[in-house]
Structure formats: C-alpha cells, structure tokens
Amino acid sequence: MKPLTRRSLPWLLPALLLGLLPWRASLAQNPLNLGAMLRTADPSAHVWADGRLYLYTSHDEECQQDFHMKDWHAFSSTDLVNWTAHGPVLAIKDLKWADDYAWAPDAAYKNGKYYLVFPAGTGIKDREDPKRSTKWMGIGIAESDSPTGPFKDMIGGPLWRKPYANDPALFIDDDGKAYLYFHGSGADYHVVELADDLRGLKGGLQKMDMGGYEPKMEGPWVFKRQGLYYFTMPENNRALSHYTARSPKGPWTYRGVFMEPENGNNHHSIVQYQGQWLLFYHRWLDTPGAACAKKQRHVAAEYLQFNEDGSIRKLERTREGVADFARRVAR
C-alpha cells in the first residue's frame, strides 16, 4: 500500500465517503422494500400469534389517477427490513357487489379466524360536475384461516349501503368486543359495534363526542396503550393527529398533530412489536423506474414515542426508518 502523502489528501475524503456508501444505503429503509415495482399504500399493521408483523396494504396501479385500485396485498417480516410478499389476498374481481376502489383495508383476528375488512365500490367521480358523480363505496368483510389469505367475502355485500363509507379500522378490545371506525359521508367520527361473528352490526352507527374538534378526516386508526384508547387519523387527510379516551367510544380529547403533511394524503397504522411502538404510513415520492414523472405512494415506517402524559411525541419522516430494528430489540 502506498504511504499517504499531501497529494493524496484531496482524494481521501471522497474515497472514504464512497466507502461508506454501501453502509449508508443499508441503513436507508424508507420506503420499505415491499417490491421494486409494486406501489403500496394505506398500511394496516398487525402482530399475530406466529410472532411476525403483518402489513395489509392497498395497491396503486402504476401512475394511477383517481385511485381506481383492484386488490389488497399482505406482507410479513420479523426484522422490518426483509419482507415476505404474500401477494394479493383479496381482489375486486372476487366481489359480487363492487367493481372498483380497493382502498385502505384493515385486518383482525377473532374466533380463531383472520378477517380482512375492506372498502370497495363502483361508479365514477366527476370532478368537474360533482352532481354527475355516481361513485359509491361501502365496507365489506372477508375471512380466512390464514393471516396470508386468501380471504373470502363473508356476506356477499357491504356491511351497510348508506351512508357511503370507506377506510375501515376494526379494533378488537381485550374483552373481545369489535368496534368499527371509518370515514363516512356525513358520518365521520362515528363508531359501530360488530356482531360477535363479525357478519353484521350490533346496533347502529353512533356519533362519538370528539370534544368539539372535528376537522375533515379519513383513515382512522384505534389502538390501546396502558388502558388509554387512541383515535388517530389524518386530519384534513394530511396531518396525522390524535385523540385519547378512557373508552373505545369516547368521549375523546384532542391531543394534537404528531406528523405534519408532506406531498399528498397520508394513511397510517400504529402497533407495538417486540417492545417498540411503530408507525406505518405512506409517502408520495419520486419513483425511479416509474412509467411517469409523477410522485407515487410507498409504504414507510418510523418509531413512535409517547410523552409522560400519554400523548404521542411529534415525529419527522426519516430516510432510515426502522432499519436498525433487529439491533434495537436485541439490546
């Protein structure tokens, strides 16, 4: 090896940086590697009894316009870096009552079965003349013996037809009761209990007390931590914010935004895995290799922290995401 001289110094720093590049790249984990040519959005994260973390996502068509989406996918991992793709677990073509709009799903485990609760619909949205829009969406429910599907539509129709509804979040409490939250036309901030077999509703849709703050929303997510319930959602479809309550039906107290908006809508889920609280969400990013120049959606993840008073600490989007998860949990 040649000794270092004054003349070699200008080369030293770039060479060192180049040497560090592979290491740097291995630390960059956002967006998650769910498949180079697969555009995923609306991640719903769950940890099942096999010890793996599962993501149920919607699937954008390449360079999509107006979210005409055709199927739902599942992925699983134990280190959040290496993901197994389980392929589409349900598709619009499997439904008798909808032919479009395979939007944000959620999943649950109950009665020894896995459930996929999903929005789907039909018709078109006329942006220039909304009165001519025929678009309708409802929420369906499907079951499987396996977390990776295939899931089968259980009731051959939506759980209800009116009001228009999508973005379901199905929360099963410790006592086994199932609560469904959603985005609905004139029915945001509503909850409905599902029957024990999840094939229908138990009672009607109930408006929740949100403490007087009810911005436009979609994509709710509910979870429980240390006896406190969290209702989280993209406020104005963009900024992730949260409320807390002592019951799954509220009354809720607004606790603020924990992730600011970026380039477009956001949709998220929150789960605890191997002692770490995690946020899964999607980003609109320039996409190398895409068939168009526009930004496309990709699923990403971050660690989530709580303040002493139970509120969620504000977080930034990072390039590293949860790349060090395996090392972190091994400590």
218 in active site: yes
Please, what is the minimum distance in Å from the beta carbon of residue 239 to ligand FUB?
13
Among 30, 53, 59, 67, binds ligand FUB (CB under 6 A): 67
Nearer Cβ to ligand FUB, position 72 or 230?
A: 72
78: its two tokens? 């134990």
- Residues in the chain, total: 331
106 is catalytic: no
Beta bridge partners of 58: 41, 72
Residue of 232, 265, 287, 296 that binds ligand FUB (CB under 6 A): 265
Around Cβ 172, how many Cβ atoms within 10 Å? Answer: 16
Binding mask 23-42 for ligand FUB (x = CB under 6 A): ------------------xx
Q: How far is the CB of 282 from ligand FUB (least distance, A)?
A: 7
144 lines the binding site for ligand FUB (CB under 6 A): no
User: What distances in angstroms separate CA 197 from CA 53, 111, 146, 318, one per listed residue?
Assistant: 24, 8, 17, 40
Name the minimum Å distance from CB 307 to ligand FUB.
Answer: 27
**Binding of ligand FUB at residue 235 (CB under 6 A)?**
no
Residue 58: CB minimum distance to ligand FUB, A: 5
315 and 305 Cβ atoms separated by less than 8 Å: yes
Consecutive H or E run containing 74: strand 71-77
Is residue 76 involved in binding ligand FUB (CB under 6 A)? no
Closest CA to 176 of 206, 196, 148: 196
> From the list 56, 83, 103, 325, which residue makes contact with ligand FUB (rule: CB under 6 A)?
103
Confirm or reject binding of residue 104 to ligand FUB (CB under 6 A): yes
Question: How far apart (Å, rounded) are the C-alpha atoms in residues 88 and 22?
Answer: 32
**Number of other residues whose CB lies within 10 A of the CB of residue 55:** 26
Any contact of residue 100 with ligand FUB (CB under 6 A)?
no
Task: Report the site for ligand FUB in 161-190 (rule: CB under 6 A).
Answer: 166-167
Instruction: Calculate the CA dihedral of residues 174, 179, 181, 186 and round it to 10 degrees.
Output: -150
What Å distances lie between residue 262 and 98, 259, 266, 306, 316, CA to CA?
31, 9, 8, 22, 10
Instruction: Confirm or reject binding of residue 241 to ligand FUB (CB under 6 A).
Output: no
Catalytic residues: 42, 218
| Contact footprint for ligand FUB (CB under 6 A) | 41-42, 58, 67, 103-104, 166-167, 218-219, 265, 267
